[in-house]
């Protein structure tokens, strides 16, 4: 009983100190996490609305690939740091920057021009163009999709999950 009288106040003091220090013994705040999820979801939706392109999920993209649907898949990540190591099978690489690219800037696209991007996408303006980057918050894919639309392509979708979601679904990746 004497031990209980000593340990109980010590335990309460420790709990109080941890709560002041930001330690949450009950786990992360699910309500705060939901606010962050909402911010990310709304940001993605607003980018899609602004860019006038569609969206495809990991499983939808895999199904299209399995069905051998005619498409161009564009990985917008840096060649050496990302594409060379891991990319969706069949994807071609074309670097886009993270910040909104309102005007074409060849410095931001590894020195490549809009004409080179159009050549990569091909002459069929109705062909499915799938653009992705690393993960949902990455906006390189937004820039790639926006510029495909600006160049006149009509069937453009953003694969927002990117290579992280692809690997998370345990689908095969390609490398060089």
Mean pLDDT of 25-34: 78
Place of tokens 């163009």: 129
One of 3.40.250.10, 3.40.50.720, 2.60.120.380, 3.40.50.2020 is the CATH number of 52-168, namely: 3.40.250.10
| Dist CA 51 CA 156 (whole Å) | 10
Closest CA to 71 of 92, 86, 55: 92
**Per-residue pLDDT at 15 exceeds 50:** no
Q: Quick: pLDDT tens for 89-144.
A: 999 999 999 999 999 999 999 999 999 999 999 999 999 999 999 998 889 999 99
Q: How far is CA 166 from the centre of its chain?
A: 10
Q: Which residues contact residue 99 at a Cβ distance below 8 angstroms, ignoring those fewer than 6 apart?
A: 139
The predicted structure's pLDDT at residue 25: 53
**Total length of the chain:** 176
Q: Which of 172, 78, 67, 88 is nearest to 130 (CA)?
A: 88
Q: Which three-class secondary structure state does DSSP give residue 77?
A: coil
Residue ranges of the domains in the chain? Answer: 52-168
């Amino acid at each position: 009983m004497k031990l209980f009288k000593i340990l109980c106040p010590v335990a309460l003091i420790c709990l109080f100190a941890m709560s002041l220090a930001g330690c949450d013994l009950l786990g992360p705040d699910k309500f705060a996490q939901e606010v962050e999820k909402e911010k990310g979801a709304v940001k993605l939706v607003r980018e899609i609305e602004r860019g006038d392109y569609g969206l495809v999920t990991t499983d939808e993209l895999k199904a299209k690939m399995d069905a051998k649907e005619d498409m161009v898949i564009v990985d917008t990540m840096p060649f050496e740091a990302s594409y060379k190591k891991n990319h969706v099978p069949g994807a071609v690489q074309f670097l886009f920057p993270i910040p909104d690219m309102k005007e074409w800037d060849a410095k931001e696209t590894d020195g490549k021009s809009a004409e080179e991007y159009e050549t990569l996408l091909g002459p069929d303006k109705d062909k499915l163009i799938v653009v992705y980057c690393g993960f949902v918050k990455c906006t390189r894919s937004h820039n790639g999709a926006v510029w495909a639309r600006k160049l006149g392509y009509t069937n453009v979708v953003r694969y927002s999950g990117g290579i992280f979601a692809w690997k998370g679904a345990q689908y095969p990746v390609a490398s060089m």
